[in-house]
Structure formats: structure tokens, C-alpha cells
Amino acid sequence: MTTPEISAPPGPAPEASPRVSRRKAAGDPVKALLHRHRDLCERAVDPLEIAAGLEAHGITDRTAARFRHRDVFSLAEELYARSPREEAPAAAPTLVPAGPAGFRGFGYALLPAALACSAAAAGQAWAGPAAVAAVVAALVWPGRAVGGRFPHVAHLLAAAVAGWAVYRHGAALAVGLALAVAPGHLAAVAFAAGARGRLDGSRALEDFADRARPLLLAAVAVFTGAAAGAAALAGTPLPVAVPLALLLFLTRLLLRHGAHRAPVGAALALALVPVPVAAPAAAAGLLVHAVLALSRASAHARP
């Protein structure tokens, strides 16, 4: 009589070979992308944050086609859906600070004008330097300045540009620049809120860029008019004050939205050249850079 064979107990399935793993990864390219950007995907509060982060890493709508998606926004939606995260309340759909924070920010923007006007009215010799310091401080407090080895070089250059201009043209120019800080703050906040709203309604990176550029140009036009009014109120020549104010306003926007500081520093360095066309040329060049940099979705991700 034959002895029945005793089958071995079932054990764990053998691990897939590296060749099989690579084949599975090739069949699911989004999984590899999810692993590569795991921190971004898990920390994002909505798919738009992932889309902005992917763009910052150089992924475009054309690149998204390799992951079987029509655009970066569609790819970001899949990454968001496949990322584990804790349930969290939805974030506010705008960058406009509400309540006391909004009033506090506007109050800070009013301080340079108050300090400059009071010092100038009292006939103080330090009115010009105090106004320059207040104007440059208004560039620093919005935050999110670019990092790197020398994160405050742009601020130092801005201080040099404003100080050099005030030294050449008088304290009235400092007062005019200080008066333009508050409208510059309002224009910057309105632009950030409008850009975020357009990001929410966009379905492709090019679509967002087409929506963001007119908004930026409108903010620049509004601020230019306000800067001209501030210069006239302070009694300083408009051809001197307006380009300089616009240069500082664009510097504030770019630093606030995390743009690369090299073009900002180059424009500020150009404005230090002691020729009349230096400041207008620097402002025009920085405006071109701002149109390119601030029409990117990654410039409007939540900090």
C-alpha cells in the first residue's frame, strides 16, 4: 500500500523579481512619479498645490502626456487621489488675509508714509534716510523671500537704490516712495487673490498663464497711477519717482512669490547706474521678467 503524499503547507508567495517590478512600474508610470514627489503629494491641501509643485519641478503639460494625462492639472488630480492623507478642513480659496490679519497688514503698509510725512513736516534732517529704511522694510515683511546663500542681497540692493536716488533728488522723493507703499500693498494683495482664483478655475498651465498676465498688467497699471499721485503729492518729479516706485513694487511682488533673485538683483544693480534712463530701463526689464515668472502656477502655491 502506497503512503499518501503530504503536501507542504502554503507559504508566502515568492517575491517578484526586479524585472517583474520594473515591468509593473512601466505599466503604472504615475506610481513612480507619486513615489518621487511623495512629500509634495501628501502635504498638499488640494490638487492645485500638486500641480504648482510639479510645474516648479519642470513638469509641463507635454510631460504629463507621457503619464497618460492631457495636462498637469489632470495628472495632479490623480496624484492627489492616490496619496494617503489625514482628513483636514478645506483651505481658504484666496490669499487675501481676512479679519484682524488683513487690517494689521494694511496698517503696516501705512507706517512708512506716516513716518516719512511726519519727519518731513517737522523738518528733520533724518527724514529721507528714515523714509528709505521704512520703504525697504516694507519689502521685507511680506515674507517668502527667495532662499539660497545670500537671501537678503535683493533687500540690500533695494536699500542702496532708494538711498542713492534720495541722495540725488532729495527727501521729497523718499516721501513719495513712502506714500506709494500702501497702494502697493493693496495692489499686491489683490493680484495674489485674483491669481489664486484664476488658478482654481484653470484646467491647464497655459490657460492659467493667459489668465494671470492681464491681471498682473492691471495691478501694475493701478500701482503706476497711485505712484504718480503719491509723487505729485510729495512734490517730486514724476519721471524720477514713478519708475523707481514701480521697480520696488515689482521687487516686492517677485520676492513675495518666490521668484529667482538673480533677475531682481540685476535690475536693482542697473538702477544704481547714475544715468537718467537707468531706473526706467531696470523697471521695464523687471516687468518683462515678472510677466514670465508670475504667470506660472508655482508662483501662487500656498506658502
Contact assessment for residue 123 and residue 167, using Cβ atoms and an 8 Å cutoff: no
Give the residue extent of every domain in the chain. 20-81, 100-300
Contact assessment for residue 238 and residue 231, using Cβ atoms and an 8 Å cutoff: yes
> Does the predicted TM-score (pTM) go above 0.75?
no
Whole-number Å distance between alpha carbons of 244 and 153: 18
For residue 71, pLDDT beyond 50? yes
For residue 128, pLDDT beyond 50? yes
* 220: helix, strand or coil: helix
Whole-number Å distance between alpha carbons of 3 and 184: 93
| CA dihedral angle for residue 161, residue 167, residue 171, residue 175, rounded to 10 degrees | 0
- Cell, residue 276: 537718467
Q: What is the pLDDT of residues 217-271, one digit of tens each?
A: 999 999 999 999 999 999 999 999 999 999 999 999 998 888 888 899 999 999 9
Give pLDDT, residue 287.
Answer: 97
216 half-sphere exposure, CB direction, 13 A CA radius:
25
Give pLDDT, residue 151.
Answer: 61
